[in-house]
Each structure stands twice: as structure tokens, then as C-alpha cells.
Structure 1
Amino acid sequence: MWKAVLPLRGGVRVNGSVGAGVLVPPQYAHTCATSTGFVAVFLDPWRLRADRSGPTWLDARGVRRLVEALGECGAADGFGPGALCCELAALAGPPAPVDPRVLHAVRGGPGALRLTEVAAEIGLSPTRLRALVRAEVGVPLGVLRRWRRLRTAVGALVDGGGVIADAAAAAGFSDQAHLTRTARTLVGRTPASLRPPRAGRGTEAVPPAAAG
């Protein structure tokens, strides 16, 4: 997934390079550190058209615009995915159209949880569906489906009072440990750390409504 790291002050370091802020592309191996509070937002891979070969660095003005966009939704959790995506498109370029079958496959389809069922709904074999998704967005379908479930769990954390076990059950994970392993694998964080940011506190967060 794309990761936008937005320090509230100072800068961010990714693999030895430093800037005011950064967009890290999907499937890019990296280490990331900031010296002050920050917000990091994860976005679906089809949301941006930026360079996928390495980080896209943001200047201080771009970071301010993105942080301000996060606060423009008027919601208590502080997320403004619509405004954020508009600002990201202005900075990195508008996203390319995505085959609707890809979005259907990632979401799982109404009532269909197994890949074979989703593929049948679309009219493709599971193998051809996986190949289509990889060609369209450059990320394996299995990873995207786990990402979708993780986002569902984070949304449940927000709406359900922060009980991780309940959020895991709501998203279809076998238990809290399964959710924790998935969060660490996909974003390198625990589920508790993926709650929305509060004013003045640095955190990483998955916007529940950031995907189309």
C-alpha cells in the first residue's frame, strides 16, 4: 500500500535519505523514522500515480497541505480521505482508471468470501483473476484482500470503542492474534497503533474510508 508519512515538525528519514515528508510506494522495502510526532496514512495502491521505484519526497508546503486536508472532513476521527486524495493527486498526479473487476475482487463481492466464489462472480478463473489484479495494480490479490480486512478491523476499532478482539471478529479474523499478525505483516504496527490520530500526537493510521 502507499504510505504517506507527514511529520508534524522536523523531517522523516527513509533508508538513509531525509525530507520534510514522503510517499512510500507499495511493496517497497524500507525503514522509516521521524524525530517528532507524525501522521502516516496508508492508501490503496490504485490511489496514486507516483513513481513506484522509490520514495517520492514532499516539501514542507506539501506536507502542510496534506495535514490540513486530513482535518477538513469535519469528523471526530480527524480523517478527510476525499480531501487528502485530492491533495495527493495534485502533488503526485491523478490515479489511473482501475478495472472494476479488480475493485470487486478486493472487496470480496456481496456475500462471497472465498476467492473461487469471487472469481466465478466476475467470470474468470482464480488464476486469471490473480493475473489481472497483479497487472492492474502491481500487488498480489491475496495481499489486497488481507489489507481490506485490516481496514475493516480498524474501522471497527473506531466505531466499537477500541476493543481489539471485537474488531478482529467483525473483520473475519480468527482471533485477536490473527489480526495482530496481519497488521504487523502489512504495516509493521499493532492494531492499537492504527487508531485514528488525535491532535498533537504522532501515529500511523489506516483511514477506514480511503479506498474506492
Structure 2
Amino acid sequence: MYRERAAVGIRSAVRWTSVSSGDGSVRVLPDGCLDLLWSSRAGLLVAGPDRTAHLSRSAPGERWIGLRLSPGVGPAVFGVPAEELRDRRVPLAELWGRVAGELAERVEAATAGPGWSAAGATILEEVARARLRAAGGPDPLGARVAARLAAGATVAATAAEVGLGARALHRRSRLLFGYGPKTLARILRMGRALDLARGGAPLAEVAVRAGYADQAHLTRDVRELTGAPPTRLLTRTVD
């Protein structure tokens, strides 16, 4: 069981909850985002930006609450460059120390009742909003770069539009997203393609509209990023 909705007061963030059936590993696709997570088994975690799909295996009945932060926002919330969290799942205590312990106690208490998902997600949102205020908000460059790349702009055109040279954009992108702009562009293009395919567009059409050379290019790129072809991703969520 998986549900998601827009987060309150955090632009483009998503709050999600799930309860594991324990019948396989979930293939979590790379999306350029960082997540603040709570697990009924593992406690509070940070999911860094992945370069390839992460296979997440949960115990039967394990409950999850997540706050997915849009590309470029995570560093302002967690207080570390995104590249330090790349391809990692890190206990929040490693980043926030005692503060994480106090937060864990609040979440544990809030999730003890029947309204556990809403109560826990609200706390995660409150903490993220407070951290963003204390940091003066996310670096606005992150949203600008991610939006241009998501729209299909080239890295060179994006760099020119935000007024940075290629090296400077690469350096800032590693701090904000966890990897360079070319990798982020590939990941965002894949997300755009899969959204089109889920909407019913044939893969050959998806490839053209998403900016791939052809359907074979789409299939190859998706397989490299996720470990599975598009057809499998569109029909299965559990391995």
C-alpha cells in the first residue's frame, strides 16, 4: 500500500506513506531527489540522490513515511552537500546528532495511534520547513537548473541561462543534486519518458517526445539507470 500527496509549505515536495507486504524488493528509481524517511523498523533515515535504481527490501508489515524533497532542496534541509549522500541510506543521527534522537521520539509517539501516517508525515514536514527557514531557503539555482533540464534544455544552454561556466555549473550541481548536470538531465529525461508512457503513449512516440534518438536509445538508457527495460517498469513495481 503506497499513498502520496503534496507536502504542505514546501514547494514541490511530496509526502508519502506505505506499508510493506514483504513479498519482494521495491525498485526505487533515481529522480534527483533526497528523502527524509521514517521506518517502523529502522527509524529515521536520509535517502541520498541515487544514480541508479535502489532495491529496497522491507519486513512484512513495516511502515514507512517519507518526505521527498525536489532536486536542489535537500542540502538546505539536511545541512550537508548532496554529493556526501549520493547512493546512500544514512541514519539521520549521523547528520543531526541529538536533534535526530529527539525527533525520533516525537515521530514514534505520533505513529503509535491509528492516524499514524498523517501524524508522522506532519512532523517531518514541520521539521523540514523549520530547517529551510533557518537556512534562508534552498539555493534558488537548484530549482532553475532542474527546471531547465527537466524541460529538455541542454547542459550548455542551461549553464548560459543561469550565468555559469561549465565547470562552475558542474561543481554547484554536485553540491545541490549529488551529481553533475549531465547525470541529472539523464535522470529527469527518463522520468519524463516514463510519465508519458504511463499516460498511454507508445514507446516509439515517447522516445521522440522525451528527446531520445529512437526507441532503442530510450530502452538502453532506462536499462542503464534502473536495471530494467521500460516495458518491465511499466508493468511491475516489485522484484
TM-score (norm 1): 0.56
Matched residues in 1 for 2:152 and 2:51: separation? 30
Paired position in structure 2 for 1:141: 181
Paired position in structure 2 for 1:173: 212
Uncovered stretches (5+) of structure 2, i.e. residues with no partner: 1-15, 27-38, 61-65, 92-103
Matches within 5 A, 1:39-188: 44-46=70-72, 48=74, 49=77, 52=85, 54-55=88-89, 87=121, 90=124, 93-94=127-128, 96=132, 97-108=137-148, 113-159=153-199, 161-188=200-227
Query: Contact 1:7/1:20 (CA < 8 Å) preserved in 2?
Result: no
Matched residues in 2 for 1:139 and 1:44: separation? 15
Instruction: Give the C-alpha shift of residue 32 in structure 1.
Output: 4.1
Distance of aligned partners of 1:28 and 1:111 in 2 relative to their CA distance in 1, 3 Å threshold: closer
Deviations 1:21-51 (A, max 9, x none): 8864224786544688xxxx98755455569
Query: Contact 1:133/1:141 (CA < 8 Å) preserved in 2?
Result: yes
Report the structure number with the largest CA radius of gyration: 2
1:181 is matched by which residue type in structure 2? R
Query: Contact 1:65/1:87 (CA < 8 Å) preserved in 2?
Result: no
- The SS at the match of 2:197 is helix
Query: Contact 1:12/1:19 (CA < 8 Å) preserved in 2?
Result: no
Distance of aligned partners of 1:12 and 1:144 in 2 relative to their CA distance in 1, 3 Å threshold: same
TM-score (norm 2): 0.51
Matched residues in 1 for 2:230 and 2:152: separation? 25
Deviations 1:168-208 (A, max 9, x none): 1110011112212222222333223444x8xxxx616xxxx
How many residue pairs were aligned? 173
- The SS at the match of 1:108 is helix
- Of 25, 30, 52, which residue of structure 1 is paired with 2:48? 25
Matched residues in 2 for 1:158 and 1:180: separation? 15
Query: Contact 1:27/1:139 (CA < 8 Å) preserved in 2?
Result: no
Structure having the higher helix fraction is 2
Matched residues in 2 for 1:28 and 1:115: separation? 18
How large is the Cα RMSD of the aligned pairs? 4.8
Matched residues in 1 for 2:209 and 2:49: separation? 26
Query: Contact 2:177/2:184 (CA < 8 Å) preserved in 1?
Result: no
Deviations 1:119-145 (A, max 9, x none): 111111111111111122322211111
Distance of aligned partners of 1:20 and 1:91 in 2 relative to their CA distance in 1, 3 Å threshold: farther
Matched residues in 1 for 2:71 and 2:115: separation? 21
Matched residues in 1 for 2:187 and 2:174: separation? 15
